[in-house]
């Protein structure tokens, strides 16, 4: 039973609610306290009813295990959750993202007690994020001094400043040319040079409102914090789950057309070998930028014509360039066509020549894509070079992630009609399975297309002279390596055999596989269709 104690102060009256539950290790009773202050406009009768209700609700919370410290604010608990996530092995970039989000949250709802936070507070915060001028930290900086002169005066090099600032040499070069750079990178450059930011750069703030996608990032982080509080029985429910965040406004992923891909490959012939090979790998493998930058020579399997992807080279404003696992923390092997392997061999020859030319100045990092002295390449360097490359040849704007979409787009288009025909004749569950299979692995895994499309059923063999074999081989050439020629052509010879007991094909499609007459072959049926 909760007890209520009236406390009369000079300017106000408050009530201390005490609930006793359990005992500590010494046998002493544990008491939980809560202070309730009535509205000055309330009558004595209203105060009596309200304090009794507050005492009852507080006692219920204690009985359910919600023993809370009413003084704990959202900001305090959020920092505790961030530490928990970091100890649990959350990736560094995610932790840094949480910390950045918390800066704006602190000003808006960070002072609110954790137990007092309601969906109305969150909805008001989301609306505020979409106001103009909210991007107080998003700004561009342009040099007002001659950075090259400062470098010469202090006997610095662009690479040295880039390494000290934890950014790419291309960014330092861009700033030295008078181009606008992001404010955090400008701050890093000014610190590396030892020149105050306001003396070195002019700042241009971005007054645009935040996008719905960015607002949703705040919502997800708040929900993560409150979900942990709910698990620890600090709050009764997750207020973010009852809030109304904006709908996502994520645009459709950009993708290259086949003629654009052919144009890119033609233009790459006239570019330095390092960038040619790196872009070629992006195009063929569907790897992320960091995965390409983090590729090492000992992960290139020359015998089997494949590369191993199990790590990525990432960067942050605080930690600079660092090595981490892939986004999914998995290992995958990507088959490559002979054209790509030949390019890698040529590049390895150039790599060896560079190592010999640098002599003692060479840094043996083991990475495939490096700076001139052997140090690992900054991931931003690839992004910057692709932007210049697209302008140079009047191509659509190119960024590394854009190469991850054509593979899915075109392979889905090629197989969509046949899949729909197959679904109409197959068992009802096939539609769900094949629809998901159309979302082929964007990372370019070497598993055969048919194996993925058919949900890893039992395989049978199809003669290479068959129609489907010729079609798939032509597609592999046309797609210019969206997956390896070897991978797709092997898909033609390794097709799924689906038991006749599971699939009731139409009479016109009841064609037995020429390699295994005892079953109905997926590829044969679709070829016939």
Provide the residue ranges of all domains of the chain, joining segments of one domain with +: 3-64, 74-133+210-242, 139-205, 258-401, 406-528
Q: Which two tokens stand for residue 38?
A: 């009535």
Distance CA 80, CA 224 (A): 12
The DSSP line for 417-457 is HHHHHHHHHS-TTHHHHHHHHHS--TT---S-HHHHHTTS-
Return the pLDDT at 262: 83
CB burial class (10 A; 0-12, 13-18, 19+) of residue 237?
exposed
Per-chain mean pLDDT for the chain: 75
Return the pLDDT at 448: 35
CATH number for the domain running over 258-401: 1.10.443.10
Return the pLDDT at 10: 75
**Which CATH fold topology does 139-205 show?**
434 Repressor (Amino-terminal Domain) (1.10.260)
Residue environment code for 54-85, b if the CB has 16+ CB neighbours within 10 A, otherwise e: bbeebbebbeeebebeeeebbbebbbebbeeb
Q: Tell me the per-residue pLDDT of 425-461, one tens digit each, with 9 for 90 and over.
A: 333 343 343 343 333 333 333 333 333 333 333 333 3
Sites in the chain below the pLDDT cut of 50: 407-470, 472-473, 475-529
Q: Tell me the per-residue pLDDT of 491-509, one tens digit each, with 9 for 90 and over.
A: 333 333 333 323 332 332 3
Return the pLDDT at 463: 37
Same fold, 74-133+210-242 and 258-401: no
Prediction pTM value: 0.58
Return the pLDDT at 159: 86
Q: Could you say which of 3.20.80.10, 1.10.150.130, 2.40.50.100, 1.10.1060.10 is the CATH number of the domain covering 74-133+210-242?
A: 1.10.150.130
């Amino acid at each position: 039973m909760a007890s209520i104690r009236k406390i009369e102060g000079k300017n106000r009256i408050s009530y201390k609610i005490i609930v006793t539950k359990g005992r500590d290790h010494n046998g002493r009773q544990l008491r939980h306290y809560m202070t309730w202050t009535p509205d000055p406009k309330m009558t004595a009768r209203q105060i009596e009813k309200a304090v009794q209700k507050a005492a009852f609700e507080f006692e219920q919370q204690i009985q359910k295990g919600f023993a809370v410290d009413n003084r704990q604010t959202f900001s305090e608990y959020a920092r505790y959750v961030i530490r928990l996530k970091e100890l649990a092995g959350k990736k560094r970039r995610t932790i840094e993202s949480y910390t950045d989000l918390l800066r704006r949250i602190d000003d808006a709802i960070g002072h609110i007690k954790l137990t007092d936070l309601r969906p109305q507070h969150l909805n008001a915060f989301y609306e505020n994020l979409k106001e103009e001028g909210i991007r107080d930290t998003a700004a561009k900086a342009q040099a007002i001094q001659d950075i090259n002169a400062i470098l010469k005066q202090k006997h610095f090099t662009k690479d040295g400043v880039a390494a000290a600032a934890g950014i790419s040499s291309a960014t330092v070069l861009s700033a030295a040319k008078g181009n606008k750079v992001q404010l955090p990178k400008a701050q890093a450059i000014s610190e590396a040079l030892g020149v105050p930011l306001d003396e070195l750069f002019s700042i241009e703030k971005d007054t645009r409102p935040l996008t719905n996608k960015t607002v949703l990032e705040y919502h997800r982080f708040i929900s993560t914090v409150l979900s942990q509080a709910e698990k620890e029985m600090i709050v009764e429910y997750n207020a973010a789950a009852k809030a109304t965040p904006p709908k996502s406004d994520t645009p459709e992923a950009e993708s290259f057309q086949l003629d654009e891909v052919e144009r890119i490959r033609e233009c790459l012939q006239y570019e330095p070998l390092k960038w040619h090979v790196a872009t070629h790998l992006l195009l063929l493998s569907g790897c992320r930028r960091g995965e390409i930058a983090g590729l090492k020579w000992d992960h290139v399997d020359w015998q089997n014509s494949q590369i191993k992807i199990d790590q990525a080279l990432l960067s942050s404003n605080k930690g600079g360039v660092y090595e981490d696992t892939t986004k999914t923390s998995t290992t995958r092997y990507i088959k490559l066509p002979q054209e790509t392997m030949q390019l890698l061999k040529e590049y390895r020859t150039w790599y060896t020549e560079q190592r010999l030319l640098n002599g003692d100045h060479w840094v043996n990092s083991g990475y495939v894509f490096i700076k001139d002295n052997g140090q690992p390449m900054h991931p931003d360097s690839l992004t910057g070079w692709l932007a210049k490359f697209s302008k140079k040849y009047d191509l659509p704007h190119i960024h590394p992630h854009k190469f991850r979409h054509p593979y899915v787009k075109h392979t889905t288009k090629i197989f969509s009609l046949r899949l729909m025909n197959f679904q109409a004749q197959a068992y009802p569950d096939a539609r769900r399975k094949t629809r998901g299979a159309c979302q082929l692995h964007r990372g370019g895994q070497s598993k055969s297309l048919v194996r993925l499309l058919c949900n890893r059923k039992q395989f049978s063999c199809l003669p290479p002279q068959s129609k489907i074999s010729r079609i798939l081989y032509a597609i592999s050439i046309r797609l210019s390596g969206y997956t390896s020629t070897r991978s797709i052509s092997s898909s033609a010879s390794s097709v799924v055999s689906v038991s006749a007991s599971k699939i009731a094909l139409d009479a016109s499609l009841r064609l037995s596989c020429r390699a295994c007459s005892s079953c109905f072959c997926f590829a044969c049926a679709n070829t016939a269709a």
